[in-house]
Amino acid sequence: MASTVTLEKTTTVQSGGGTDAGSPRTVRSPLLMKGRKVGDCGGGEDATDKCCGRRRCELVSYDRLPEFLKHNEFIVDHYRSEWPIKEALLSAFSIHNETINVWTHLIGFFVFLAFTTCAATMVPMEYEASHSHLATTSTGRLPNITGNAMALMTSDYSAEGAVADTIIMKALLRNASVETEAAAAAALSSAPGHRVARWPFYAYLCGAMFCLLMSSACHLLACHSEHASYVLLRLDYAGITALIVTSFYPLVYYTFLCDPLVQALYLGFITASGAAAVAVSLLPVFERPELRWARAGLFACMGMSGLVPIVHKMVVFGARPEAVVTTGYEMAMGAAYLAGVAVYATRVPERWMPGRFDLAGHSHQLFHVLVIAGAYAHYLAGLVYLGWRDMDGC
């Protein structure tokens, strides 16, 4: 429990720490000498002390870090070490080796928040536009599939509206002609309106937002103290687990809507796996740098288990375009996540040129971008699932 760490401790670590046997060259940061400060602390030692208490809010090199902040020896410099919480928070607006890590996932969080808000509140206008398009177009181009799927998902429509939307979605997904829309309209004219449950889709959006927010907070504030680092890393692992687990929910729930037993088996298995992963990640040994591959392997195995329901889906529904489209998105998501895990575990490119990618371009930043790309692909798949099940029900 080290929520309060003094400058003396930092100094002790510096003098006794040295570099690891396998670590690359050590570069003294010019910024270290300049005593770069967060916030407008003014000049001189007194101003620094006044601004940051007993600590110097300066960036330090890897060999000056306490053990709990030593995660990647190929990132040589520009570390924040045991900064006060206020300065750590404000450091979101300054340049250090976590700045891009913080903002990639913070921006991703707000993007998914916007998706969720749109899903929950909007689109009667798009819905109306879809209707007018259907009514006025004779040979026209089909509108954007994502926008119309969103309209379907969010519109609070009547039974009559549901049938009309169903027709639109069927035509969109099958890239059908207007004549096909008319045929679908005739076929579905007697079908009751229905709207499949939204909770699996919202659970996924919440899982993604939780992951992105926890990640961003961890990168911003873990430098504060060993205790903060311990807690935030656990929340970060829990966020990754939540993203993986909730990614299964739309896939399993909507695909096996008509088979509650299979649905419950898959959902139960992945939820139990996620709970086990969170429990394992609570062990202090879990964050040790040498267990990087074990962490990557655990999360990769959880993600890879998604192949089972996906293959199952293709066996049962392989003839349906919705199944093919969603599987395509899921493959794109899997490729992005696997590439992210590989980059995370191998620490490429910084291992090739230690110190060169401290501020921009290091593996963790690439990992973050790939996670957002994968999460977005899965969001698109979720929209297609909603369209499919709103259309067909069970």
Instruction: Using the rule CB under 5 A, give the single segment among 150-158, 215-223, 246-254, 333-341 that binds Zn ion.
Output: 215-223
Phi and psi at 222, nearest 5°, equal -65, -20
362 is in an annotated binding site: no
- Supply the minimum distance, in Å, between the C-beta of residue 54 and Zn ion: 30
Is the Cα torsion angle 368, 370, 373, 378 positive or negative in sign? negative
Q: How far is CA 388 from the centre of its chain?
A: 25
- Supply the minimum distance, in Å, between the C-beta of residue 182 and Zn ion: 51
- Supply the minimum distance, in Å, between the C-beta of residue 364 and Zn ion: 5
Instruction: Using the rule CB under 5 A, give the single segment among 65-73, 212-220, 318-326, 380-388 that binds Zn ion.
Output: 212-220
Amino acid letter for position 95: I
Closer residue to Zn ion, CB minimum distance, 215 or 225? 215
Closer residue to Zn ion, CB minimum distance, 195 or 368? 368
* Nearest-angstrom CA–CA distance, 327 and 315: 12
Closer residue to Zn ion, CB minimum distance, 164 or 217? 217
- Supply the minimum distance, in Å, between the C-beta of residue 286 and Zn ion: 15
49: left (phi over 0), alpha (psi -120 to 50) or beta: alpha
Q: Does 97 bind Zn ion (CB under 5 A)?
A: no
Closer residue to Zn ion, CB minimum distance, 299 or 388? 299
Closer residue to Zn ion, CB minimum distance, 108 or 382? 108
Closer residue to Zn ion, CB minimum distance, 243 or 377? 243
122: left (phi over 0), alpha (psi -120 to 50) or beta: beta
H or E element: which one contains 163? helix 159-173
- Supply the minimum distance, in Å, between the C-beta of residue 129 and Zn ion: 39
- CB-facing half-sphere around the CA of 233: CA atoms within 13 A: 23
Amino acid letter for position 45: E
User: Measuring CA to CA, which residue among 182, 206, 309 is closest to residue 254?
Assistant: 309
Contact (Cβ atoms closer than 8 angstroms) between residue 61 and residue 32: yes
* Nearest-angstrom CA–CA distance, 38 and 33: 15
- Supply the minimum distance, in Å, between the C-beta of residue 283 and Zn ion: 20
Per-residue string for binding with Zn ion, 37-76, x by CB under 5 A? ----------------------------------------
Site for Zn ion in 226-285 (CB under 5 A): none
- Supply the minimum distance, in Å, between the C-beta of residue 344 and Zn ion: 8
- Supply the minimum distance, in Å, between the C-beta of residue 101 and Zn ion: 5
Output helix, strand, coil percentages for the chain, rounded to the nearest 5: 70, 0, 30
Instruction: Using the rule CB under 5 A, give the single segment among 211-219, 310-318, 350-358, 374-382 that binds Zn ion.
Output: 211-219
* Nearest-angstrom CA–CA distance, 245 and 207: 8
Residues 69, 73, 76: CA angle, nearest 5 degrees: 95
Contact (Cβ atoms closer than 8 angstroms) between residue 2 and residue 227: yes
Could you identify the residue written with the tokens 């990639």?
104
368 is in an annotated binding site: yes
Peptide bond into 349 cis (omega under 30): yes
Q: Does 216 bind Zn ion (CB under 5 A)?
A: no
- Supply the minimum distance, in Å, between the C-beta of residue 219 and Zn ion: 6
Per-residue string for binding with Zn ion, 347-376, x by CB under 5 A? ------------------------------
Site for Zn ion in 168-187 (CB under 5 A): none
364 is in an annotated binding site: yes
Instruction: Using the rule CB under 5 A, give the single segment among 90-98, 153-161, 213-221, 249-257 that binds Zn ion.
Output: 213-221
Nearest residue to Zn ion, by Cβ distance, number only: 215
* Nearest-angstrom CA–CA distance, 333 and 378: 6
- For 28, which DSSP code? -
Q: Does 215 bind Zn ion (CB under 5 A)?
A: yes
Instruction: Using the rule CB under 5 A, give the single segment among 126-134, 166-174, 214-222, 308-316 that binds Zn ion.
Output: 214-222
Closer residue to Zn ion, CB minimum distance, 9 or 351? 351
Q: Which residues bind Zn ion (CB under 5 A)?
A: 215
Q: Which residues are annotated as a binding site for Zn(2+)?
A: 219, 364, 368
